[in-house]
Amino acid sequence: MNKITVKGGNRLYGTVQISGMKNAALPIVFASIVTGETCIIENIPLVDDVLKSIEIIREMGGSAEFIEPTTVKIDTKNFVAGSSPDDLACKIRGSMYLLGAELARSGETVLKQPGGCNIGKRPMDIHMKAFTALGADMDEGDDYIRGKVRDKLRGANIYFDFPSVGATINAIIAAVTAEGTTVIENAAREPHIVDVANFFNTCGANVTGAGTNTIKIHGVEKLHGCTYAIIPDMIEAGTYMTAVAATGGSVTIEGIIPKHMESVSQKLIDMGACVEEGDEWITVTSDGHLRGIKIKTMPYPGFPTDMQQQFGALLCLAEGEGEIYESIFEDRLRYTAELGKMGAQITVSDRTATFHGVKKLTGASVRALDLRAGAALVIAGLCAEGKTEVSGADYIYRGYYDFVPTLRRLGADISEDKYATHIYGD
């Protein structure tokens, strides 16, 4: 089991270059299947989940080669729908985008239930509803999801009960080459949804309204290949912003879109950190003395659930009381028990965690239970007295490239023991 060891107490200084966004790269890699042509995708984050998605394309008959360190050339001319490798597909959440891509490309899909971090129930009913509206017969069993287009995919009006990120993207993927117009109401508005729409439009699709809660897709007969660069990862950026706020110091995060960071920046300012921003950078400066605040996770542009756990680490040492209400996933507060082993005072009731700020955390052996929980425990370790060992670090590698070397460059006393085991999820 991979393990990260941190000795707390060092402040962080320097700059960090942010990678492409994992949650945009995953759907765009699978969306390239719809084109059946060659797509050159730049700014690919070299994180385990995305590398797995590329491996899935290869195992399904496509070709995918890195022509630059972070640029992959994908050709899906020979892609065989319905042949997804169970062992890989069920381990990453992003494999859910094969459903939309296969329906669009060949009218048929079969997929082992996508995996995912254990953060509560992850139903697929909203995805199913969208595919059904577009003209597919869907059958969701415990192990497999199967779908077959009745005649052809046809544009439809789709209303989502909840703005699911995955279902919004899957509906776009299935609708881009459907006959007629699709309107998705109460769509998710996350930046990666805009990125998927921009990718498709670069391939000749006609998608408008992405980034608002009404997305219109005028189906086109055929897409062509393209060259496209993935947007920067707002969660990776937010994680380093949180780390420096916690330890104290001054770190500039480069290669980002500051607008995507607004909810995170505002919460850091509310806690007492200084946040300055330019066109493509943000500098966070902190003396490490923060105050407790209230946070409620919400769909974008609200505070992201994927930043909740990192802020949990921050609230442990903040003065006074802090509170996190997790509104998106029903079971994403289990990491607080691990923080408790380090001396944090946290009480959890249903979806609310209340943090009673303590003067110090003490290093301990703790376990990452999912990707962002792993990042949160490392942040706590950076501020704790003594040595913290975070096991289950495989989770962290799924979503952060070069996490430990980056933190070491910023001044952290941190090391890792990497073995060949891997956990996948999200």
- Contact between 124 and ligand UD1 by CB under 6 A: the answer reads yes
C-beta closer to ligand UD1: residue 69 or 123: 123
| Minimum CB–partner distance for residue 301 and ligand UD1 (Å) | 12
Task: Out of 98, 126, 176, 290, point to the residue binding ligand UD1 (CB under 6 A).
Answer: 126
Kindly identify the residues of this chain, within the stretch 226-285, that bind ligand UD1 according to CB under 6 A: none
Q: DSSP state, 258?
A: G
Task: Out of 75, 236, 326, 426, point to the residue binding ligand UD1 (CB under 6 A).
Answer: 426
| Minimum CB–partner distance for residue 3 and ligand UD1 (Å) | 24
Task: Out of 3, 52, 91, 127, point to the residue binding ligand UD1 (CB under 6 A).
Answer: 127
3-state secondary structure of 321: strand
Kindly identify the residues of this chain, within the stretch 162-201, that bind ligand UD1 according to CB under 6 A: 162, 164-167
Alpha-carbon gap, residue 233 to 400, rounded angstroms: 10
DSSP 191-232: HHHHHHHHHHHHTT-EEE-BTBSEEEEE--S----EEEEPPB
Q: What is the phi/psi pair of residue 135, to 5°?
A: 115, 20
Distance of CA 351 to the CA centre of its chain: 21
| Per-residue x/- track, 104-123, ligand UD1 (CB under 6 A) | -----------------xxx
Strands annotated E in 28-171? 38-42, 63-68, 71-75, 108-112, 136-140, 144-149, 157-159
Alpha-carbon Rg of the chain, whole angstroms? 21
| Minimum CB–partner distance for residue 389 and ligand UD1 (Å) | 26
C-beta closer to ligand UD1: residue 79 or 97: 97
Percentages (nearest 5) of helix, strand, coil residues in the chain: 35, 30, 35
Residues sharing a CB contact under 8 Å with residue 115, sequence separation 6 or more, in sequence order: 90, 91, 92, 93, 95, 424, 425, 426
Q: What is the phi/psi pair of residue 147, to 5°?
A: -150, 150
| Per-residue x/- track, 278-317, ligand UD1 (CB under 6 A) | ---------------------------xx-----------
C-beta closer to ligand UD1: residue 167 or 273: 167
Per the listing, tokens 């189906």 go with 219
Cα-based distances in Å from 229 to 147, 235, 275, 343: 31, 18, 27, 43
The two structure tokens encoding residue 370? 């999912």
3-state secondary structure of 261: helix
Q: Which of 281, 53, 253, 94 has its CA nearest to residue 41?
A: 53
Task: Out of 26, 246, 315, 410, point to the residue binding ligand UD1 (CB under 6 A).
Answer: 26
Size of the site for ligand UD1 (CB under 6 A): 21
3-state secondary structure of 312: helix
Kindly identify the residues of this chain, within the stretch 138-167, that bind ligand UD1 according to CB under 6 A: 162, 164-167
| Minimum CB–partner distance for residue 373 and ligand UD1 (Å) | 12
Q: Annotated catalytic residue: which of 117, 203, 226, 316?
A: 117
C-beta closer to ligand UD1: residue 99 or 384: 99
Task: Out of 20, 45, 62, 94, point to the residue binding ligand UD1 (CB under 6 A).
Answer: 94
The two structure tokens encoding residue 149? 């287009």
Alpha-carbon gap, residue 224 to 174, rounded angstroms: 16
| Minimum CB–partner distance for residue 184 and ligand UD1 (Å) | 13
| Minimum CB–partner distance for residue 190 and ligand UD1 (Å) | 6
In the complex, residue closest to ligand UD1 by CB: 166
Decide: 1 and 394 in contact? Cβ < 8 Å.
yes
Kindly identify the residues of this chain, within the stretch 323-382, that bind ligand UD1 according to CB under 6 A: 328-329
| Minimum CB–partner distance for residue 172 and ligand UD1 (Å) | 13
C-beta closer to ligand UD1: residue 3 or 351: 351
C-beta closer to ligand UD1: residue 290 or 353: 353
Q: What is the phi/psi pair of residue 289, to 5°?
A: -100, 110
Alpha-carbon gap, residue 219 to 58, rounded angstroms: 27
C-beta closer to ligand UD1: residue 178 or 328: 328
C-beta closer to ligand UD1: residue 121 or 359: 121
| Minimum CB–partner distance for residue 30 and ligand UD1 (Å) | 11
Residue 90 annotated among the catalytic residues of the structure = no
Q: Which residues are catalytic?
A: 117
Q: Which stretches of the chain bind ligand UD1, using CB under 6 A? A: 23, 26, 93-94, 121-127, 162, 164-167, 305-306, 328-329, 426
